[in-house]
Amino acid sequence: MEIRCVVAIVRSDILETLERRLGAIHIHGVTVSKVKGFGAHPNLFSNDWTTEHIKIEIFTQEANVDALVREITAIAHAGAGGDGVVAVFPVERFFRISTSSEAMP
């Protein structure tokens, strides 16, 4: 079975709701980082064009990707610039450090 890495950069105010919804669709591993940056809609009225967002990274089986992306976009969508982005990457290999073995997420 193929493994994918789903990366989303979204507004920080949706994190708690997103965590609950991910648990409901049986996604139990997530990495969350605070990030700053700008995309298509920089804050041109500020000395610092960047805005704070959160970056979410999830390793999952390919069969879960469509449902996961639907949940993230449904929760993050406010219909405004700055809602965020989602990207899906293939994962060549996946190892668990605790067992020193190749594994599935």
Number of domains in the chain: 1
Domain that holds residue 44: 3-102
pTM of the predicted model as reported, rounded to 2 decimal places: 0.86
Q: List the 51-61 sheet strands across, edge first.
A: 31-37, 51-61, 3-10, 84-91
Q: What is the CATH number of the domain that holds 34?
A: 3.30.70.120
Per-residue pLDDT of the chain (105 residues; tens, 9 = 90+): 799 999 999 999 999 999 999 888 888 889 999 999 877 766 677 777 788 899 999 999 999 999 999 999 999 998 877 789 999 999 999 898 898 888 877
Q: In this structure, how many other beta carbons lie within 10 angstroms of the beta carbon of residue 23?
A: 11
Report phi then psi at 91, rounded to 5.
-115, 120
pLDDT at 58: 96
Contact, 86 vs 24, CB < 8 A?
A: no
